[in-house]
Amino acid sequence: MGDKASAHPGAAGRATAADHPASVRNVVLVGHSGSGKTTLVEALALTAGAVNRAGRVEDGGTVSDYDEIEHRQQRSVQLSLVPVEWDGIKVNLLDTPGYADFVGELRAGLRAADAALFVVSASDGVDGSTRMVWEECAAVGMPRAIVVTHLEAARADYEEMTRICAEAFGGDDPDAVLPLYLPLHGPQGPDGHAPVTGLIGLLSQQLFDYSSGERKGSEPGEDQLPQIEEARNRLIEGIIAESEDETLMDRYLGGEQVDVKTLIEDLERAVARGTFFPVLAAAPAVDGARQGLGTIEVLELITRGFPTPLEREAPRVTTVDGKPRELKLCDPNGPLVAEVVKTASDPYVGRVSMVRVFSGTLRPDETVHVSGHGLTDRGHEDHDVDERIGALSAPFGKQQRTLTHAIAGDLACVAKLSRAETGDTLSAKDDPLLMEPWQMPDPLLPLAIQAHSKADEDKLSQGLSRLVAEDPTMRLEQNQNTHQVVLWCLGEAHADVALERLRSRYGVQVDVVPHKVSLRETFANKSAGRGRHVKQSGGHGQYAICEIEVEPLPGGSGIEFVDKVVGGAVPRQFIPSVEKGVRAQAAKGVAAGHPLVDIRVTLRDGKAHSVDSSDAAFQTAGALALREAAADTKIHLLEPVAEVSVLVGDDYVGAVMSDLSGRRGRVLGTEQTSGGRTLIKAEVPEIEIGRYAVDLRSLSHGTARFNRSYARHEPMPPQVAERIREEARDAS
């Protein structure tokens, strides 16, 4: 597995349509922002012959030419697919954003892939969010390997980084995370730094020198063998511990020399099973070289050690009405089941869907059934329609290369699926099926927006619908209480990208406004009011008088209307009119313009006129009576309170609990969980956690997660309520 002495001879280049699932590898690259994932993808594409020495594809552009926003922000913001070919194997490289705001793109990449390359920087180490993704992969048994980058950095230490990786990723078995290679250093420079110019294969004990721009193998000198002996022995023991041959360890400990071929075969099987996690090193090609350091080794690991799609169980599949459906594993001749893992808009082609085919074969210009996807709460409608797909293609930078088909196990881009969104299932129109959706992170940062101009207002609705169709981690809310349009995002960077896409891609300019929470009002004490609406201006007049009592009710009671009129003081036909007027006024509020709730209104008495009384007059009288009752008592301002659960590393528990208390939160309890984490449960006013998604990430260095749900409305502290009222008066 990449531990061979000769330079690689094999067929390489751009990827075409695969003919069998065994000739496909789907690999997702994972790592924090700046770890070098995109640079590694470009280096692998260069070594595979898919780009020239300038890093450009034959028809212009580079493999990283995906989104103008990425170029401006100098970071990846979306999932990107780069297919290459190596030794007759089609390798679909899925480059994911490293920034936490775009974890939805990462989850899509994990769904589409069968194995993961964790990219870590030799100078930066392993951050908490990368550890969390490793645990996600471990939970589903996804095979993984680690690639160490930035070896050229002055403070880079490959040996120390392999130790850190074993500690971070090895858990109870650090010997399952071991390097396959040691760095080969060149002569020291004037600054005393010896650059890494090649690799030493621990199994084959061969040197692989990349200093010329192409890999050259050679035998090590006698003086070099002792330095690799300890690492080699540990690697051999780690491989043998995962071997299916239970006698191999005893034979090895008894002094038997294990054949290198046997070790490599056992290594490949252990990697494919997800029980052994090799560490490799890689660096981009420099000065027009054809091969970057370690890129051949990484490609050989992918093609020989990572599993084929045939070795992965597909997600659960049902009929559209929920009946389980058994499918043969990754069968190109089986019923069509494919999933949209990403949706993007191309200014020339229109909507383009990246699709992973799990069963059957997808062909251009055929009609498929689109089913999905249970995210109506986020502004994504469910689908159950037939659509004719357009051309199939393999992306490469901004270019789309036509494919004749896409078999089970492969990835492709599909044009002209106007209704399909991320997470939807494509199946045969006469056999519609539905795949169980993957878990999407809940967007918890509100972004209230309004159209910048009348022209923008006309385009806003369509622009927003297209925006959320591309991104299932975004939720669109039309709040009926605050009358705001709210985009719920994963963080500030996510929100910035959403606004930029609205402007540049859909031509909609919006203004960000302060987000409002849904406040309520209620009576603090019992009160009474009299509504008198009497007018005479020629012809029929208006005459209605009603007297009411108002008393507070427990939270969540709503508005209760009770009729206790005696003697027909208010005619029966006008009692519903009084109730209608009371409820209409309650919806408008009686103090700060927020809906009035949790009261009982009792109609006690009133007067009517045989000619001038009417439905409208008694509605007005009911509203006036409620306003008068409110004027004679104290009105509480109610704020929504959320139940918040925070999962945080034990090192940050104190800081998180202190922060929650500073937000007027009440900690309800804590609970120890696995992996050195604590679950904190609290109740916090929603007005205090508008930016909690951002603040918690900063507080915990990106390692904490939280969710929230509405609990109830409760009275706001007087000083806070007064501040809200002052802000409302200033705004008016």
pLDDT of 6? 41
pLDDT of 538? 64
Give, as one character, the DSSP assignment of residue 438.
P
- Token pair listed for 289: 């070289």
Q: How far is CA 223 from the centre of its chain?
A: 51
* Cα 81–Cα 86–Cα 87 angle in degrees, nearest 5: 150
pLDDT of 62? 54
Question: What Å distances lie between residue 396 and 51, 412, 656, CA to CA?
Answer: 10, 11, 44
- Sorted by where each starts, the structural domains of the chain and their CATH numbers stand as 12-311 (3.40.50.300), 317-435 (2.40.30.10), 446-499 (3.30.70.870), 520-633 (3.30.230.10), 637-731 (3.30.70.240)
Residue 200 to residue 224: CA distance in whole angstroms: 10
- Token pair listed for 496: 């910035």
Give the model confidence (pLDDT) of 341-380 as tens digits.
998 876 666 788 999 999 999 999 999 999 986 666 655 6
Contact status, residue 100 vs residue 704, Cβ threshold 8 Å? no
Q: Which of 325, 312, 501 is nearest to 425 (CA)?
A: 325
Query: Which residues are within 8 A (CB) of 669 and not within 5 positions of it... i.e. 6 or more apart?
Result: 680, 681
pLDDT of 11? 47
Task: State which residues of the chain have pLDDT below 70.
Answer: 1-14, 52-76, 192, 288, 346-349, 373-382, 397-398, 538-539, 731-732
The DSSP code sequence of 345-387 is EETTTEEEEEEEEEESEE-TT-EEEEEE---GGGT---EEEEE
637 half-sphere exposure, CB direction, 13 A CA radius: 21
- Element containing residue 208 per DSSP (H, E): strand 206-209
pLDDT of 234? 92
Residue 530 to residue 15: CA distance in whole angstroms: 81
Q: How far is CA 40 from the centre of its chain?
A: 23
